[in-house]
Amino acid sequence: MSTINFAAREINFKLVYYGPGLSGKTTNLKQIHAHVPTESKGEMVSLQTEDERTLFFDFLPLDLGKVNGFKTRFHLYTVPGQVFYNASRRLILRGVDGVVFVADSAPNRLRANAESLRNLRENLAEHGLSLGDLPYVIQLNKRDLPDALPVDMVRAVLDPEGAAPVFESVAQQHVGVIEPLKAVSKLVLEKLAQRG
């Protein structure tokens, strides 16, 4: 839930990158960190295993500047994708305002994508949230794979109702990284405007 800190005159939003292991969540944050102007970003924190798999989370604060006299910030998190780190994923979702679901385009990861999305729904429910009520977008990553699945096929599995905007990306090359972030941020702001 968006939080307002009247004492420091700050408004903060929490965005979480979710998805199966090795789908490119950490790569997204690294690319954002590398391309956002220095004055608009804080330190990136990564809690990784020795083989550079996310153990707990990655964290990157983005500073939007002052809006109506309030310092406005987006805190970006990733979750660990590996199945056995579910307790960590559940913790990171606490207070989430928006989700970028990073799906893998490889044919042999379609099932992992679907399982991760199901896991996201379950973990949100633990916090009394539902994906239907939460701003979220799907980022279909690794579009440069020679055998990448067609977008429609992945969408039919992950979002048959077409409820979420879908973006294609090659995060390692910084292609299609900013669009989903910008889209989910705007959805979060729209939701705030609707609820007041």
Contacting residues toward another protein, per CB under 8 A: 1-8, 10-12, 14, 35-37, 40, 42-43, 45, 56-57, 59, 61-62, 64-65, 67-70, 72, 75, 87-88, 91-92, 94-95, 174-179, 181-183, 185-186, 189-190, 192-193, 195-196
Residue whose token pair is 């839930």? 1
CA distance 80 to 37: 27
Nearest distance in Å: CB 110, another protein: 25
Q: Measured from the CB of residue 19, what is the shortest distance to another protein in angstroms?
A: 19
Count of beta carbons in the 10 Å neighbourhood of residue 187:
19
Nearer to another protein by C-beta: 2 or 114?
Answer: 2
Judged by phi (left if over 0) then psi (alpha if -120 to 50, else beta), residue 129 lies in beta
Nearer to another protein, 110 or 137 (CB): 137
In the bound complex, what is the minimum distance in angstroms from residue 145's beta carbon to another protein? 18
Q: Give the Cβ contact number of residue 90 at 10 Å.
A: 16
Q: Which letter does DSSP use for residue 16 in this model?
A: E
Question: What does the alpha-carbon distance between residue 100 and residue 1 come to, in Å, rounded to a whole number?
Answer: 16
Q: Which C-beta is closer to another protein: that of 81 or that of 176?
A: 176
Closer by beta carbon to another protein, 67 or else 156: 67
| Minimum distance, C-beta of residue 47 to another protein, in the bound complex (Å) | 8
Q: Which two tokens stand for residue 185?
A: 């941020």
